[in-house]
Structure 1
Amino acid sequence: MSARLPDEILEPNASPVPNRRPWLKDMAMAVPNLAKLLSRLARDPRVPARSKRFAGLMAAYLISPIDLIPDFIPLIGKTDDVVLAAFTINHLIQSAGYEVVREHWDGSDEVLGYLADAVDFIAGLVPRTVRLGLGRWLRG
């Protein structure tokens, strides 16, 4: 004889698994807003030209077939792309300043906060010596 599940799990509108990461859905839905934000920051005269050039170089790297870690390596093949993209987005957000970023952002402040926290965390995976060297170059 099988054990009976609690009634709340069997109700048609009940969720048997709680949604523990609603921010993840928000982040996925924010991709179009992120693309618009990056495009607008690239055209904004308040964003330093050197930061825009860096973003352009990183975009070229990301679409090129050359990789630090080849994409065919399972699990870690795309890691360098994700980390460098996050580092670049984080740099653009920091160099533009929050007010400029907020002005160009079409989504909610909450999702922008999630995004900023996520790219800041992922950008932190770039080795410290690389971050410091790029930081010096980007400051001129």
Structure 2
Amino acid sequence: MSIDALIERLSASKGADRDLDADIAIALEHVPERGWWSIDYLKADIIPGITSSVDGAIKFAERALPDHGRLNGKGRCGEQEQLYGCAIFRSLDYQDDDTPLGLGEHDLEPIAIAIAVLRAIQTSGAKE
């Protein structure tokens, strides 16, 4: 599945989605080895909860883009704006280069983080 398609699915998402979590992890090849006992990735509980928890989304961001900076924010400036935003930067000290690689917005913070990570991956060419 393409990164554009994953971003579209995330943007349209209304909540946590384990199938989407799995599709993201598989598309980016961030799936650890599964044990002989697991029937599929979801039942083995090895796919992080990218869309269901802030911790899972941050873990995904750190694994997908190590040594990159991230800035999360909450708040609306207008009625039509999303509640959460996330910006991914080239370095942990984002003040060195304040141009974000990827921006994400959504009413759910984990999804805003995931969108920003995928857009940063597109921009940096880290994984296509």
Given the two structures, how large is their TM-score scaled by the length of structure 1? 0.27
Select the structure of larger CA radius of gyration: 1
Bigger strand share: 2
Tell me: higher relative CO, structure 1 or 2? Use CA pairs within 8 A at least 6 residues apart.
Answer: 1
Bigger helix share: 1
